[in-house]
Amino acid sequence: MKRTMNSSRWFVRIVFLIVFAACMCLISAGCARPPYVAPAPQPFDYGQFVLRLPSPEVELDALRGKRIVIDPGHGGSFAGAVGPNNLREADVNLGVALQLWGMLTQAGAEAYLTRTDDSNVYKGDNLTLKKDLHARAEFAGAQNADLFLSLHHNADVLPGAKKNSLETYFKMGDPGPSLDAARCIHRQLALSLGEKDNVILPGNFHVLRENPTTAILGEPSYISHPANAFRLGLAPMQRVEAQAYFFGIAEYFSKGVPRIVDMSPEGTVIDTSRPFLTARVEPDRDVPTDPSSILMLIDDEPVDARFDAKTARITYLPRKRLSNGTHVAQVFLRNTNGNAARPQQWEFAVSMAPAYLVLEPGFTSARPGSAAPIRISARVFDTDLVPVADGTSVEFHATSGMLSPATSSTIAGEATTYFTPLRDSSPQEVTVSATASGLTHSVTLTLTDDAPEFVAANVFDAKTGAPLEGALAMADGEPIDYTDRAGYFAVDFAGIGATPVTFSRKGYIAQTASLSKSSGATHVKLEPVANGVLFGQKIALDPQFGGHEKGAIGPTGVRASDLNMLVAQYLTRLLEDSGASVVLTRTSDETATALQRVETAEAFGAQWFISIGHGKETEYQTLEPEGTATNLAAPCANVLYYPTSEEGKRLAQAVANTMRSLGIAETVFLEPNNDFVLTHTSSPAIRVICPSPSVAEVEEKLRNPNAARKEAHAIYLGILANFGFKEGVPAGIDVGQPKKSSG
């Protein structure tokens, strides 16, 4: 056995030596293996994306000297979205930004990054997302940027979603340069990425809204899309995006961006009522101004401005005089390539000298020793009998008695003082005079025993002690007059006798007082409704649908759009009666787009946005505590809020709680949502979706207006609870609910 194994080994060795010798012979004969040849280079391709050459309209020299701020979204404490492969949006944004910075810098632009690593942009104490976003917008202003570009990658909130689209946002309210830049950038992104689902949208994101310059936010694709998340993790793919942005920015500046300069008069007080207004246009890249595009506004009204192409000056001489006070001028224009100049706005003040002064006493006679003060107004006009500018000083004098105040300033051309005769006054005549800018006017007040008696009141806020203007005085259910800006009210005693007077004003609980003839002005204190928690709050109410958009419709025709409006109207009354200011995004059965609704709220300066609906197509996931029984077959309600808005979430939770407690629906779901109005309102925003009328049983209940009152009541109590008032319906408020309701 051993001999056999040794023989096998020798056989293998002999075969190896024979093969080796044959190979050596071939080599020596010149039959060597052909040298390695590298394969031909392939196109730079990652899926469907390739680097491109710039198209003819992209002139890279247009970037030279342009100041461009690149903002890699998120970073540091705010990672942004996370892909299914755990790829962080903050990292992808930074990768694209760094490559874009290099391209712009190489082309001669002055490029700046809001961050260069995984860090927060805000470096101060008490970091919040809002502070970090604001730091990015402030950075653009500090660099005097020509363009601000915030880089992002979107994500669908639904797990496992396959949505992938290209979205480019321009600063809402700037359909000029921001939209122009967005069009160019979006076009180049679409060419590079080939995404058929793409759209340009107005955006009201904080970094756009608070930005002083032309501002764009890019969402080229969705990091939540699995295949896309894989590609975004590749540096070459990030370079494809960066190149598309680079070409888009260059295309925008290639068209030239004109500037409006040398506005006059600006920031001055002028003593002419028809000032000559001028501005000058600085063209860019020798592209001329399009005269037909020039628009000048004075106080938001278009005027017939002229343009001189030789001097590039825009001029306007008012046909009619301007009122005294501050005025705002604005100029908009485009060049012949279609690019808009950044709109310019400036202020100036007209202050014509006083020419006429008229003194008007509330009463021309009074009884000696009368304790009630007499209101005396001085009205001051210029040469055209137009009220002088606010703040014009007026001095008051009296030959006897007391004037308070002795010096007052005009508001809408009127200054006011209050005269009280001396306690021991005997019958006499008292001269009261007013002086303003050298003008003097006097009136004579007669103190006589047979003068009519009058009574007066001073109305104040019981909580702050501030005088209340506009409080309505009523006696026997009949209106008498309103208090002035000092909270003062006076009436002839003969007109009311001993009848108590009731004072009321929105936001306050009405108060009844008996006015005294002997104790001077009666002090009346009005208590604010709900402790005044809604005072100063500006709330936008958004009745969903309207016009050709009806929303859910019941079996017998009850429309959600009508129900939404009815609830909004009831809620408006409750909020205004509690001291809040309210705007409706629509006031009739009209169609209003999501953008129009947001713009209405923004123009109003809304601090809260509440959208009201009935019925919704999609299902919602409840955040009810575990173990809570839920009847999914029963009519339900939903309250939605923007995912990252803590204030919105608190308001949504408070409203959901009161809707449950009042039985608006058996189940009230609470859910984050990122639809357009929730995303783009600058204020905390919620959507309240009451039960749908599409179910016959529910429709029958909703047909009764009391159902809408009840829903408005529930939302109202939720709003109060959000502000810390949790005592139910406050005194002074009528929720309009009858004792028995079938709704």
Q: What is the structure's pLDDT at 435?
A: 95
Tell me what pLDDT residue 597 has. 96
pLDDT digits (tens, 9 = 90+) for 87-125: 999 999 999 999 999 999 999 999 999 999 999 999 999
The CA distance from 170 to 178, in Å, is: 5
Say how far apart CA 242 and CA 667 lie, in whole Å: 48
pTM for this structure? Answer: 0.83
518-548 pLDDT, tens digit per residue, is: 777 899 999 999 999 999 999 999 999 999 9
**Alpha-carbon separation of residue 706 from 123, 257, 732 (angstroms):** 53, 58, 20
DSSP H helices, 43-106, are 89-106
Tell me the domains of the chain and their CATH numbers. 47-254 (3.40.630.40), 259-350 (2.60.40.1220), 356-530 (2.60.40.10), 538-722 (3.40.630.40)
Please state, in angstroms and as integers, the Cα–Cα distance from residue 492 to each residue in 304, 416, 524, following that order: 52, 20, 18
Q: What is the strand order of the sheet 306-308 is part of? A: 259-264, 277-282, 313-316, 306-308
Q: In this predicted model, what pLDDT tens digit does every residue of 595-610 receive, in sequence order?
A: 999 999 999 999 999 9
Mean pLDDT by 10 residues, the chain (743 residues): 43 44 41 40 49 89 97 94 93 97 97 97 93 96 97 82 89 96 97 92 96 97 91 93 97 98 92 95 97 96 96 96 96 97 95 95 88 93 96 95 95 95 82 94 92 92 96 94 95 85 96 85 94 96 95 94 96 96 96 94 97 69 36 72 93 97 92 92 96 92 94 97 92 68 37
**Cis amide bond preceding 265, omega within 30:** yes
Distance, in Å, from the CA atom of 165 to the CA atom of 193, rounded to the nearest integer, reads: 10
Are 427 and 368 contacting, i.e. CB atoms less than 8 angstroms apart? yes
Percent of the chain with pLDDT over 90: 77
711, containing H or E segment: helix 705-722
pLDDT of residue 425: 74
| Cα torsion through 179, 183, 189, 195, rounded to 10 | 100
- Residue 612's H or E segment, with its range, is strand 608-614
User: What residues contact residue 271 under an 8 Å CB cut-off, 6+ apart?
Assistant: 350, 351, 352, 353
Summarised one tens digit per residue, pLDDT across range 286-338 is 999 999 999 999 999 999 999 999 999 999 999 999 999 999 999 999 999 99
Distance of CA 367 to the CA centre of its chain: 56
CB atoms within 10 A of CB 164: 20
Please name the amino acid found at residue 616.
Answer: K
**Taking the mean position of all CA atoms in its chain, how far away is CA 499?**
48
Question: Which backbone phi and psi does 682 adopt, to 5 degrees?
Answer: -75, -15
DSSP labels for 94-129? HHHHHHHHHHHHHTT-EEEES-SSSS-S--SSS--H
Output the DSSP codes for 624-690: PPTT----TTS-EEEEEE-TT-HHHHHHHHHHHHHHHHTTS-SEEEEEE---HHHHH-SS-EEEEEE
